[in-house]
A and B are shown apart, each in its own frame.
Chain A
Amino acid sequence: MESSEKVLLCKKCKAKAVIEARSDAFCEACYIRSIENKIRRQFELLRPNLVDKCSKKALVCVSGGLNSMAMLETVYYLSSYREDNYRPMFGDLIAVHLQLPTSTVEEEDMIRTVIKQKYPKCAYVYVSEHEYMSQCTYVNALGSQVREPAVSTAETEQTNFLNVSSTTSRQDLLHRMRDRVLLQLAHENHCDTLVYGDSASTLAAKTLELVAEGRGHAIPASTGVCTRPAVAPDVAILRPLREVLEQELRSYMGMKGLQFVSRELDSRLTTMFDVSKNYFLNLGEQFPSLVSTIVRTSGKLSAPQDGVCCRLCLLPMQENTHSWLNSTTVQHPTNLELSDEACKQQRDDVCYGCMVSLGGLKAPLAWPRFVAKQS
C-alpha cells in the first residue's frame, strides 16, 4: 500500500528533501550549494564595476546579525586568503563593527570570536562611539551648524540621540549616521569597496522606509547593487545579497551551523523600518513575489547625475525642499511669508528627510564630520 503522505524529493539529486523554498524542494547539501551559487553569481555580476575586476581592499560591515554574518562567509570565501580560490575577488579584508546605541557587548564578543576562529586572516576593527565621534559638528533643528554646547563630553555622548523626539526620527538619523561613518572609515583606510549585507527582505523594507520618510530621491543610492557616492567616488558600495530572502539565509545559516545574533521584531512597531518589515512578513504568504518585485522596481529608478547632496546624510536630494514644505503645510499665525530672519536660518543643503527627522530636536545633535581626502 502506498503511503498517503507524499515524500518530497530534492530537485537536483532526488534524495529526500528537508526544505521547500520558492516552490522547489532541496536536500541539505543542494540547498546550501544553491544559496551559495546565488550569492556568488551576484558577486560575479559586480566584477565589471570594479577596477581591474577585483577589489584590492574591502571594508565589510558586520553587525553580528543574520545578513552580515552570511555575507562575511561568502566574502571570506572569495578573498585571496583561501588557497583553494583560483580567482579571488577581494584582496585585503577589514571587518568593522560599529558601537551604536542599539548594539550590545555580547554582539561584539560573538563577532570577535567567530572571526578569530573561522576567518583568522581577516582584520577586525571595533569602532567605539567615542572614536567615530571624536571629530563632530553639532546641528540644530533647522539643520544649521551650531557651536558645541557647554556640557561635558561624556554627557553629550550618552544623551546624543535621546534629544531626538520620536523613535522614528531617531532610527532614521541613526541609519544615516551609520552609513556616513562607514563611508568615512572606508575612505580613510583606502578601501575601494564597502560591502553591506542587505538581503532582499532588508532592501524591500528599506525602500518602503525611504519612501515613507520623503527620501524617494535616495532610493537608487541606498538600495542599488553597486553604487558610488558622489562625495567619495573611489569607494564602490556593494549589496551582493539582494537576490536572497531573509528566510532563505536563516535556513542556510542553520544548516551550516554558523553563528549570528537573532533580533526579533518588537510586537509594538515603533519605527518605519519595523512597520515595513512587518508588512512584508505578513504579506509574504499571500503575495510571495512581493519582496523581489519591490527590489526590482527600486533597481529601475535613477538619481540625476551630478546632483546636489545633502550635507548631513550625503545622499542625493531635491532642491525645492523648503518652499515645497511651506506651501503644502500652513503652520504660522498669519498668511505672511516667513520672516527674513527665519528664512536665512533654513539651510538649502539639507534634504527633506533629514529636515523632517531633525524637526522637534530638543538640543543640538552631535554629527560625525566627513573629511574627503585629496587623492
Chain B
Amino acid sequence: MNEKPRNKSRLCELCNAERPVMVRPKTSQKICKNCFYRVFETEIHNVIIDNKLFHRGESIGIGASGGKDSTVLAYVMKLLNERYDYGLKLHLISVDEGIRGYRDDSLATVKRNQQQYELPMTIVSYEELYDGWTMDRIVSKIGAKNNCTYCGVFRRQALDRAALSLGIKHILTGHNADDIAETVLMNLLRGDIARLPRSTEITTMSETSPTKRSKPFKYTYEKEIVLYAHYKKLDYFSTECTYSPEAFRGTARALIKQLERLRPSSILDIIYSGEAMKLSTTVQKQLPEQKKCVRCGFISSNDVCKACTLLEGLNNGISGLGIGSNRKARRLKEKQSAENVQAGETA
C-alpha cells in the first residue's frame, strides 16, 4: 500500500508505464519520451484537422530556413502526411538572402534535410529577384538600422514568387505559439490596430493573392519544438542573424518569458485573447483594402507594394524610401528631384 504513492511520482503521468524524462513546458506534466512524441504530433494533427488546412492532392510549399522551426515542421509534416494519409505533395522552398557566413551555412543544413527527408527543394535568392541586391549590399548601403524591414518584406514576396513559379498555392511557415503571442503583444503595444485581428489567423489568404499561408505550429510551444528536435536528433541550424538588432521585439519577448514563468499556459492564453479581440465597427471601416501592386501584381495595401517601393529607393539612391510615413516619402522624392536638377546644371 505504501508503494503506490511513490510509484506514481516515478512514472509517466500519461501512460503510467515508462520513466519520465522531461517536464512538459505546456502543462508541467512529467512524461516519457514516447508520450511526448505522441502528444506533440497529435496536437499538430488536431490543429490541421480542426482548421481544415489542406485538401487531398494539394501541393504544399514549406518555407525552410534551416532553423529549428522549419526543420521540425518539414519532419512532422512528412510524418503526419504518411501516418494520417493527407495525400499532400510536399516541397521545400528556401530563400537565400545573401548574408555571407550565415545564410550559406543554414542553406547547407536545408540541403542535408532535403536528402534525409527525400523532399524536392527549390532555392530562390534576393540577388536573382531584386536586381542583384543581396542583404550584404543593402546593409553596406543603408546601414544596420531598419535593414530587417527590407529583409522581411523581400523574403515574404520571394516565397510568393517561388510558390507561383512552382504552381504551389499553399505555403507553410514555422511560426510557433511564442512567435504569435509575441506578435499579438507587439501589435497591442505599438497600437498597430490594423494588424491586430490578422496576427492570430492560422491561414491568411485573400482574393488578390494566389498563394495562401498557414501556420500549423500556431499552438505549439517553442520549447517543445526544441525538445522534439533534440530527442529526435534532428539536424538544424541555430545561429542568429548577423544583422538583426532586436530592440522592441526583444522587450516583448522578455515580457513573454516572464509571463510564461509565472503561468506556463500564458502563451496560449495570449493567443486566445488575440483571437477574441475584435475591432469596433467604426475603426474597421477605416482600414485599407487589400489590392494588387500596379508594378509586380502581388498583394499590396497601396497602389505600389512595399517591396517595389523599397527596391525603387535602393536603385535610385533614396535611402529611407518606404520606411516611415507617406509624407516622408514625398519629401525624399522631391529632394532627389532637386539634386538631379543641380547635377544636370553642373554638367
Is this pair of chains taken from one and the same complex? Answer: yes
Q: Spell out A's residues near B (CB within 8 Å).
A: 166-169, 207-208, 210-217, 219, 269-272, 275, 279, 283, 287, 290, 293-294, 296-298, 300-304, 318, 324, 327-333, 335, 352-353, 356
Q: Contact at B278–A331, with CB atoms within 8 Å? A: no
Q: Contact at A290–B189, with CB atoms within 8 Å? A: yes
CB distance from A327 to the nearest CB of B (A): 5
Q: Contact at B277–A216, with CB atoms within 8 Å? A: yes
Interface centre among A271, A331, A335 (most CB of B within 10 A): A331
Q: Contact at B43–A302, with CB atoms within 8 Å? A: no
Identify the closest chain A residue to B50 (Cβ). Answer: A327
Interface centre among A269, A301, A352 (most CB of B within 10 A): A301
Task: Name the one of A219, A328, A332, A335 contacting B219, with C-beta atoms under 8 angstroms.
Answer: A328
CA distance in complex: A331, B50 (Å): 17
Q: Contact at B29–A331, with CB atoms within 8 Å? A: yes
| Residues of B contacting A211 in the complex (Cβ-Cβ under 8 angstroms) | 184-185, 188, 269-270, 273-274, 277
CB within 8 Å of A: which of B220-257?
248, 251, 255
| Residues of B contacting A168 in the complex (Cβ-Cβ under 8 angstroms) | 262-263
Q: Contact at A216–B191, with CB atoms within 8 Å? A: no
Q: Taking the complex as formed, is B308 at the interface, i.e. its CB lies under 8 A from any CB of chain A? A: no
Interface centre among B193, B248, B273 (most CB of A within 10 A): B273
25 CB < 8 A contacts A-B: A208-B185, A211-B188, A213-B269, A214-B268, A214-B270, A216-B273, A216-B274, A216-B277, A217-B277, A219-B277, A272-B262, A272-B263, A279-B255, A287-B248, A290-B189, A293-B189, A293-B190, A297-B193, A302-B281, A303-B278, A328-B219, A329-B27, A330-B43, A353-B269, A356-B269
CB distance from B145 to the nearest CB of A (A): 16
Q: Contact at B269–A327, with CB atoms within 8 Å? A: no
Q: Taking the complex as formed, is B129 at the interface, i.e. its CB lies under 8 A from any CB of chain A? A: no
Produce 1/0 per residue, B259-275, CB < 8 A to A. 10011011011101111
| Residues of B contacting A293 in the complex (Cβ-Cβ under 8 angstroms) | 189-191
A212-B259, A275-B259, A294-B191 known; A301-B43 Cβ under 8 A: no
| Residues of B contacting A328 in the complex (Cβ-Cβ under 8 angstroms) | 43, 46-47, 219, 268
Identify the closest chain A residue to B29 (Cβ). Answer: A331
Q: Taking the complex as formed, is B279 at the interface, i.e. its CB lies under 8 A from any CB of chain A? A: yes
Identify the closest chain A residue to B27 (Cβ). Answer: A331
| Residues of B contacting A330 in the complex (Cβ-Cβ under 8 angstroms) | 38-39, 42-43, 46
A211-B270, A216-B273 known; A270-B262 Cβ under 8 A: yes
Q: Contact at B255–A275, with CB atoms within 8 Å? A: yes
| Residues of A contacting B277 in the complex (Cβ-Cβ under 8 angstroms) | 211, 216-217, 219, 301
Q: Taking the complex as formed, is B276 at the interface, i.e. its CB lies under 8 A from any CB of chain A? A: yes
Q: Contact at A302–B276, with CB atoms within 8 Å? A: no
Q: Contact at A275–B262, with CB atoms within 8 Å? A: yes
CA distance in complex: A304, B281 (Å): 10
CA distance in complex: A331, B265 (Å): 13
Q: Taking the complex as formed, is B347 at the interface, i.e. its CB lies under 8 A from any CB of chain A? A: no
Q: Taking the complex as formed, is B144 at the interface, i.e. its CB lies under 8 A from any CB of chain A? A: no
Number of interface residues of B (CB under 8 A): 45
| Residues of A contacting B188 in the complex (Cβ-Cβ under 8 angstroms) | 207-208, 211, 294, 297-298
Task: Name the one of B29, B248, B258 contacting A269, with C-beta atoms under 8 angstroms.
Answer: B258
| Residues of A contacting B278 in the complex (Cβ-Cβ under 8 angstroms) | 301-304
CA distance in complex: A85, B29 (Å): 62
Q: Taking the complex as formed, is B78 at the interface, i.e. its CB lies under 8 A from any CB of chain A? A: no
Q: Contact at B191–A212, with CB atoms within 8 Å? A: no
CB distance from B162 to the nearest CB of A (A): 31
Q: Taking the complex as formed, is B1 at the interface, i.e. its CB lies under 8 A from any CB of chain A? A: no
| Residues of A contacting B272 in the complex (Cβ-Cβ under 8 angstroms) | 214, 216, 318, 324, 352
Q: Contact at A301–B280, with CB atoms within 8 Å? A: yes
CB distance from A274 to the nearest CB of B (A): 9
| Residues of A contacting B259 in the complex (Cβ-Cβ under 8 angstroms) | 212, 272, 275
Task: Name the one of A166, A167, A283, A352 contacting B269, with C-beta atoms under 8 angstroms.
Answer: A352
Identify the closest chain B residue to A216 (Cβ). Answer: B273
| Residues of B contacting A166 in the complex (Cβ-Cβ under 8 angstroms) | 262-263
Q: Taking the complex as formed, is B15 at the interface, i.e. its CB lies under 8 A from any CB of chain A? A: yes
Q: Taking the complex as formed, is B283 at the interface, i.e. its CB lies under 8 A from any CB of chain A? A: yes
CA distance in complex: A158, B306 (Å): 61
| Residues of B contacting A301 in the complex (Cβ-Cβ under 8 angstroms) | 277-280
CA distance in complex: A213, B275 (Å): 13
CB distance from B39 to the nearest CB of A (A): 4
| Residues of A contacting B184 in the complex (Cβ-Cβ under 8 angstroms) | 211
